[in-house]
Structure 1
Amino acid sequence: MSTPATTQANDGRAPRRRIPASWIAAALAVLLLAAIGFSTQYRSTESAAASGPKRFDPAAFGAQNYESKVVPAIEKKAVELPVLVKALADDKDAAGAEFGTRQGTGPYSFAVKGTGEAGTVKSGLLPVTVPGLPEGTRVSLQTGPAINGTALRDAAGYITFGQFLNQVEYADAATALNNEMRQKLLATLDAPSLAGKRITFTGAFSLLSPSVVTITPVAIEEAS
């Protein structure tokens, strides 16, 4: 009796080979990776940075705002210094609300102007004797090289914390305005030569004490 050379299924067809499950899983993984590759957009570091939030540029902010906006705003709002000091002495809060600006509960900042006799520059400050002020009031104009404070930013009235991403940018904006003032005004000002002369000034200061007024100027000229 002979033995059949091949074994067939009951229906007469040869049995099918089963594909291992591991092969199917591997094939699906390859297809998935290929789909991800086709749908992924690759960008250079430069293009990725360009599409993100624009980085704050303090120097550009100062150049765009100082002469065109800050100086005109301070000149327009400037109060005669004797008038302001008297108002502060009478009612500091009322004077702040009427003449000053501030963010939150911070100190008021004021735009002021005045005329007086310049003294001798010392430690970056030009003292000015302004008639009509209470006895003992000390008035000084910052002449650099270091310019401190945020008075130009704050007294302008239109620059607020909400315009910036964080406190660092807000502080950098104030420094940038001070730098612009130093370049536009102080770089050509011979402050020592003003000693003993009658001058006019316009600028801003933040209130710490009505008897000590340290002004960041935007204009200093010999009085005619």
Structure 2
Amino acid sequence: MTDVHPSAPTAPPPPVPAPPRTTGRRATRRRTLIAVAAGAVLVVAMALSTEVRSTEAAAQQAAAATFNPQAWATENYPRQAEAITASAVDLAQLLSEVAADPEAAGTRYGHKTGATSPFTYPVKTTGTAGAVQGTFLALDVPGLPAGTTARVQIGPAITGTAVRDATGTVEFGQFTNQVDYAAAGTALNDQVRTTALAGIDPAALTGRQVSVVGAVSLLTPTSIAITPVQLEAAP
């Protein structure tokens, strides 16, 4: 029988091997490879979405974005003048209706460019030409309300935006900014001078019957300034 001595030491368990130190390096290397791959994909995507333009193409695009009011007016004035002529209301009739109900007359015949803007109307009338007064030709029109004066813009400076605004077809939203919108009105006035008023000697019209088709902004209903798109004088 073998003797057992409790006090005798027992053999220690074998040591547990330490985990390989290369595990952390492999994870770091894996993350680095993933980051590099993702960066490469991003660079390729940016390259595919980038538009490469020559200096000449960029210059052409910049030129196209620049508004040319004279070219615009040359193209659009004939349509604007035709629309004013087609919808023109007799001036004496218009002023009579404005006196009775300004809002109703404005809604029926005119157009506004804004809530606080005056109505602008396409009009027609015939009267006796008076003297030239600066850039206006006085016009004696029968049937106008008492105290009302009528004049026709004859240049050389044509002011206002009545021709632009009289039909409601030229709107601010068609232009890039307020500067271009205003320039369009000025360019239309230039067309009035070179078309409707071409070859006309205003001083030679005094005392003659003159028929006018044009546009009026009724800032003051008793002082009428017509911007003409047609001006004809009787022999």
The TM-score range, normalised by the shorter chain, is 0.7 to 0.9
Q: Which amino acid aligns with 2:132?
A: V
> How far 1:42 sits from its partner (Å)?
5.3
| 2:222 is equivalent to residue 211 of structure 1 | yes
Give the alignment's TM-score, normalised by structure 1.
0.79
Q: Cα deviation per residue 1:130-160 (whole Å; 9 max; x = unaligned)?
A: 0001121010000001100000000022111
CA distance in 1, matches of 2:209, 2:198: 20
> How far 1:51 sits from its partner (Å)?
3.5
> How far 1:46 sits from its partner (Å)?
3.0
CA distance in 2, matches of 1:46, 1:182: 37
Q: Cα deviation per residue 1:35-90 (whole Å; 9 max; x = unaligned)?
A: 89x877654433113235622110111100112x1111000110000000101111
Report if the CA contact (8 A) 1:127-1:140 is conserved. Answer: yes
Runs of at least 4 residues off by over 6 Å: 38-41
The counterpart of 1:49, out of the listed 40, 59, 79, is 59
Q: In structure 1, what is the equivalent of residue 193 of structure 2?
A: 182
The counterpart of 2:208, out of the listed 176, 189, 197, is 197
Within 5 A, what are the aligned runs for 1:10-25?
none
Unaligned runs of 5+ in 1: 1-27
Report if the CA contact (8 A) 2:119-2:218 is conserved. Answer: yes
Report if the CA contact (8 A) 1:115-1:223 is conserved. Answer: no
More moved, 51-60 vs 140-149? 51-60
CA distance in 2, matches of 1:80, 1:174: 24
Unaligned runs of 5+ in 2: 1-35
Give the alignment's TM-score, normalised by structure 2.
0.76
> How far 1:188 sits from its partner (Å)?
1.1
| 2:82 is equivalent to residue 72 of structure 1 | yes
SS at match of 1:121: strand
The counterpart of 2:143, out of the listed 119, 132, 149, is 132
Q: Size of the alignment, in residue pairs?
A: 191
